[in-house]
Chain A
Amino acid sequence: MAVILGGIVALFAYAGGWLTPHELTPARLTDTFEQLSGVHPGFRRNHAKGVCVSGYFESNGKGAELSRASVFQAGRVPVVGRFSLGGGQPDMADGPQAVRGLGLMFELPGGEQWRTAMVNLPVFPVRTPQAFRDFLLATAKDPATGKPNPAKMQAFLTQYPGTAKALQILGSHPPSSGFDDSSFNSLNAFRFVNSSGAEAYARWTFVPLPATHTVNTINPGSTNNDYLFDALITSVHLHPLQWRLVLTVAQAGDATDDASIPWPADRRQIDAGTLTLDHIESDDTGLARDLNFDPLVLPDGIATSDDPLLSARSAVYSQSFTRRESEPRTPSPISPAEVGRQP
């Protein structure tokens, strides 16, 4: 009797990860962000600094060839989103090297949703969640010097040679001047299914349309901590910002489980429509602060791939979401007054 009961309890404890304290879990990966950036109550554990935006997506119907998802039927759907900078510090200084993020939620007919969280990098530096945690630790600032420890990075690159290649690609793609002229990439591949059941793997990119007005406030050397966000705010107040949704279709042999490897440049691309963002709000008042841009909230017609990062992202975003929603809110450094300032 004790064997039966003990066995069930032990199995349960094993399934819950309590018997394997060194195995990486969603909670332990989220803890890593907290160790490196501290806990900032009410903020995301990563991409803590950001602003909320909204607008709409106008599909031209061409994406339907690849996916039966209603978002690719010709027509317009409302979109809520959030621009952000990578890192766990909500008051970090804007800089050209900070990773820029764009999270979007498409509200589709009948209550379906499509959520995506993208960045301006052309490839992701690592392939797996374990490598990502090791990468975070290897690139963290050494408290003694205030800079990353080169020896740690060297050891990391020896263990993960794929990252060295990805970093070369990243080095040859310098970031654009601001949020409004950045491309945002899905990085991970997804499985697209069309109305006749045909499947294809694809990645997507939101490619900026040239702005009708130029905002000359971009100044990386400025003492303004928020210069990227201030330029974005000015830009949205002057005119709606627009991006084309470009779907890139994989061919047999292209890596669908490795976001650190780019696909050849000649892959077929489908321009599926235009995203327009015409409204901007502070995290304090906007909807997107309380949205989890879980990349696996997908409409029928888009499905996950075998990319190990996707499941891990879904799990860790949920952890981060639950933690921040359980905490008291702290005002965002990008205040409603700052966002409301007219050019």
Chain B
Amino acid sequence: MTTTNPPTQFSPLSRLLHWIMAALLLAMLFIGISMVASLGDYHRLVAIHRPLGILILLFAAVRLVNRIFTTLPPFPPTVPPPERLIATASEWLLYTLMFALPLVGWAMLSAARLPVTMFGSFHLPPILPPDPALYAMLRKTHTVLAFLLFFTFLAHLSAVLFHTLVIRDRLLNRMAFWPVK
């Protein structure tokens, strides 16, 4: 008797993109929160924050295309249907934030009439006309979304750790960097 096993892991490209994005987002969250609390390193952190945000935006687009065109490994039986729903919803929330945060950052600098400097003389064009009130609103939105991203990341990590360390269903293997049978 033979059975064709469905894939147990995400595709190698999906896994690669996942871990690159994880590193970028975690770095970005810590740069962002350090930056607003720092006097001495503020300028250095801002100079990284802007181009890194645009890099995340580009990666998010690549990931979205990849996500749409790849087949996902099925959830293990240890993930009950309501939890699957939450997992899928939080996945899409993370995708939304990966796009929204850089775009709000870009829009907010545009509304403040500030140049969106990447490196050297290379900068991005404004995506909004100057509008001080809109700047103030977008600046607050940027912070709120960043905290939302941080808490969604914590929830995502908690769920994976709970499955892997407490239920011991090897959930992490689906996304493991190395191939797992």
Contact yes or no, B114 A314, CB < 8 A: no
Is A129 engaged at the interface, CB distance under 8 Å to the other chain?
Answer: yes
Determine how close the nearest CB of chain B comes to the CB of A205; give it in whole angstroms.
23
> CB-CB < 8 A to A151: which residues of B?
none
Tell me the dominant secondary structure on chain A's binding face: helix
Q: Which residue of B lies closest to A315 (CB)?
A: B42
Is A17 engaged at the interface, CB distance under 8 Å to the other chain?
Answer: yes
Stretch of A24-32, A165-173, A179-187 at the chain-chain interface? A24-32
With A and B bound together, what is the CA distance between A309 and B127 in angstroms? 31
Contact yes or no, A325 B132, CB < 8 A: yes
- Residues A314 and B135 in contact in the complex (CB < 8 Å), given A16-B37, A17-B37: no
0/1 string, B38-70, CB within 8 A of A gives 1: 111111101000000000000000000000000
Among the listed A15, A29, A292, which residue makes an inter-chain contact with B39, where contact means beta carbons less than 8 Å apart? A29
Contact yes or no, A26 B133, CB < 8 A: no
Contact yes or no, B37 A326, CB < 8 A: no
0/1 string, B112-135, CB within 8 A of A gives 1: 111100001101011000101101
With A and B bound together, what is the CA distance between A275 and B6 in angstroms? 72
- Residues A112 and B39 in contact in the complex (CB < 8 Å), given A1-B166, A290-B132: no
With A and B bound together, what is the CA distance between A17 and B34 in angstroms? 8
> CB-CB < 8 A to B125: which residues of A?
111
- Residues A1 and B165 in contact in the complex (CB < 8 Å), given A112-B123, A315-B38: yes
Is B20 engaged at the interface, CB distance under 8 Å to the other chain?
Answer: no
Contact yes or no, A311 B41, CB < 8 A: yes
Give the interface centre of B39, B114, B150, B165 by most chain A CB atoms within 10 Å: B39
Contact yes or no, A26 B121, CB < 8 A: no
Stretch of A88-96, A134-142, A224-232, A296-304 at the chain-chain interface? A296-304
Contact yes or no, B154 A24, CB < 8 A: no
Q: Which residue of B lies closest to A113 (CB)?
A: B115
> CB-CB < 8 A to B33: which residues of A?
12, 15-16
With A and B bound together, what is the CA distance between A243 and B123 in angstroms? 30
Contact yes or no, B133 A292, CB < 8 A: no
- Residues A8 and B165 in contact in the complex (CB < 8 Å), given A290-B113, A304-B43: no
- Residues A314 and B46 in contact in the complex (CB < 8 Å), given A26-B36, A29-B39, A300-B121: yes
Stretch of B77-85, B97-105, B155-163, B168-176 at the chain-chain interface? B155-163
Is A310 engaged at the interface, CB distance under 8 Å to the other chain?
Answer: yes
Total A-B pairs in contact (CB under 8 Å)? 104
Contact yes or no, B139 A312, CB < 8 A: no
Determine how close the nearest CB of chain A comes to the CB of B103; give it in whole angstroms.
19
With A and B bound together, what is the CA distance between A308 and B40 in angstroms? 6
Interface residues in A, total, Cβ within 8 A: 42
Determine how close the nearest CB of chain A comes to the CB of B39; give it in whole angstroms.
4
With A and B bound together, what is the CA distance between A292 and B43 in angstroms? 15
Q: Which residue of A lies closest to B161 (CB)?
A: A1
Interface residues in B, total, Cβ within 8 A: 38
Determine how close the nearest CB of chain A comes to the CB of B91; give it in whole angstroms.
19
Determine how close the nearest CB of chain A comes to the CB of B48; give it in whole angstroms.
13
Contact yes or no, A311 B150, CB < 8 A: no
Contact yes or no, B120 A11, CB < 8 A: no
Is A5 engaged at the interface, CB distance under 8 Å to the other chain?
Answer: yes
> CB-CB < 8 A to A290: which residues of B?
113, 130, 132
Is A322 engaged at the interface, CB distance under 8 Å to the other chain?
Answer: yes
Q: Which residue of B lies closest to A290 (CB)?
A: B132
Q: Which residue of A lies closest to B115 (CB)?
A: A113
Among the listed B40, B112, B120, B150, which residue makes an inter-chain contact with A312, where contact means beta carbons less than 8 Å apart? B40
Is B29 engaged at the interface, CB distance under 8 Å to the other chain?
Answer: yes
Contact yes or no, B30 A12, CB < 8 A: yes
Contact yes or no, B39 A322, CB < 8 A: no
> CB-CB < 8 A to A9: which residues of B?
154
Determine how close the nearest CB of chain B comes to the CB of A296; give it in whole angstroms.
5
> CB-CB < 8 A to A314: which residues of B?
42-43, 46
> CB-CB < 8 A to B113: which residues of A?
290-291
Give the interface centre of B41, B113, B123, B126 by most chain A CB atoms within 10 Å: B113
0/1 string, A164-202, CB within 8 A of B gives 1: 000000000000000000000000000000000000000
- Given A9-B154, A315-B36, A325-B133, 7 other A-B contacts at CB below 8 A? A1-B166, A4-B161, A11-B30, A16-B36, A27-B36, A113-B114, A312-B39
Can you pick out 20 interface pairs between chain A and chain B where the beta carbons lie within 8 Å of each other? A1-B162, A9-B154, A15-B33, A15-B34, A16-B33, A16-B34, A25-B39, A26-B36, A27-B36, A27-B37, A110-B121, A290-B113, A297-B114, A304-B43, A310-B43, A311-B40, A316-B39, A321-B112, A325-B133, A325-B139
Interface residues of A (CB under 8 A from B): 1, 4-5, 8-9, 11-12, 15-17, 24-27, 29, 70, 110-113, 129, 290-292, 294, 296-297, 299-301, 304, 308, 310-312, 314-316, 321-322, 325-326
8 smallest A-B Cβ distances: which pairs?
Answer: A17-B37, A300-B121, A315-B42, A326-B136, A312-B39, A325-B136, A290-B132, A311-B43
